[in-house]
């Protein structure tokens, strides 16, 4: 465990140095950036180490795994981000521990999350997943920008959900800077209508510097922090 602590500390220090450099390059303040450690496939012991190292935000993409870790780590004050495709029938479980859901992309999911959050007596913050690829097929990887307003109104009008912002994943196969190029315009238009929804979740291990340049506030970092594969033990 000492070896793992040293490894994670070194990974985190390197990541923070790269974030600082990317912020400087973009003329941004590094204090605007939150690192979400994507802990999927990695055990709760790693999350405890990262918590000791100062991280508070953790991302998971499968409810089966996430709800177990949230229970194991309930003694820590963590913010859980659900970042994966979310099935409506998992909304009830996710609303019990998730503080933010990044992958909100359809009316049925908003309705299910709202009902679940209400019965769990919790507020769940929602990020609408938007596609930065105008050629993307519907139904995966987020909605087109023109569909955001109706979803945002539905979240705003809900009983137990809070509209927090936008989330995107760069499409594969094109350079990250080009992939994120539409993002600032999408964010600006969205925040013009929904000025309190300020979070921009964009950037992963391979493209977070370009995401910072495009205005990301929340980076979802897995492999760069934790390594290339994990097994929940």
Binding site for ligand PLP (CB under 6 A): 38, 40, 61, 83-84, 169, 204-206, 220-224
**C-beta separation of 104 from 110 below 8 A:** yes
Distance of closest approach, residue 60 Cβ to ligand PLP, in angstroms: 9
Distance of closest approach, residue 203 Cβ to ligand PLP, in angstroms: 8
**In the complex with ligand PLP, which residue's Cβ is closer, 56 or 156?**
56
Q: What are the beta bridge partners of residue 124?
A: 161
Q: Which two tokens stand for residue 216?
A: 């990301």
- Output the residue with the shortest Cβ distance to ligand PLP: 222
Distance of closest approach, residue 134 Cβ to ligand PLP, in angstroms: 20
**C-beta separation of 124 from 109 below 8 A:** no
**In the complex with ligand PLP, which residue's Cβ is closer, 103 or 158?**
103
CA diameter of the chain: 50
Distance of closest approach, residue 55 Cβ to ligand PLP, in angstroms: 14
**In the complex with ligand PLP, which residue's Cβ is closer, 215 or 222?**
222
Question: Could you identify the residue written with the tokens 């929804």?
Answer: 197
For residue 167, the SS3 value is strand
**In the complex with ligand PLP, which residue's Cβ is closer, 59 or 158?**
59
Tally the residues of the chain. Answer: 233
Distance of closest approach, residue 79 Cβ to ligand PLP, in angstroms: 16
Task: Please give the Cα distance from 200 to 221 (Å, whole number).
Answer: 14
**In the complex with ligand PLP, which residue's Cβ is closer, 38 or 78?**
38
Which DSSP letter does residue 84 get? S
Q: Which of 10, 65, 35, 81 is nearest to 227 (CA)?
A: 10
């Amino acid at each position: 465990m000492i070896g793992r602590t040293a490894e994670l500390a070194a990974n985190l220090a390197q990541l923070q140095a790269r974030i600082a450099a990317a912020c400087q390059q973009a003329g941004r303040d590094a204090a605007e950036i939150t690192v979400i450690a994507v802990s999927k496939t990695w055990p709760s012991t790693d999350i405890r180490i990262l918590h000791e190292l100062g991280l508070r935000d953790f991302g998971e993409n499968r409810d089966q795994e996430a709800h177990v870790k949230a229970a194991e780590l309930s003694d820590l004050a963590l913010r859980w981000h659900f970042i994966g495709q979310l099935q409506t029938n998992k909304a009830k479980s996710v609303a019990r521990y998730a503080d933010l859901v990044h992958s909100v992309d359809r009316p049925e999911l908003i309705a299910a999350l709202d009902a679940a959050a209400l019965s769990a007596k919790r507020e769940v913050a929602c990020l609408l997943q938007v596609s930065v690829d105008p050629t993307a097929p519907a139904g995966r990887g987020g909605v087109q920008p023109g569909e955001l307003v109706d979803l945002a109104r539905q979240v705003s009008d809900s009983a137990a959900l809070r509209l927090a912002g936008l989330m995107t994943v760069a499409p594969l196969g094109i350079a990250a800077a080009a992939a994120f190029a539409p993002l600032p315009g999408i964010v600006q238009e969205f925040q013009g209508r929904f000025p309190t929804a300020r979070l921009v979740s964009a950037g992963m291990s391979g493209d977070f510097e370009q995401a910072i340049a495009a205005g990301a506030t929340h980076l979802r970092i897995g492999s760069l922090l934790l390594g290339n594969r994990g097994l929940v033990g």
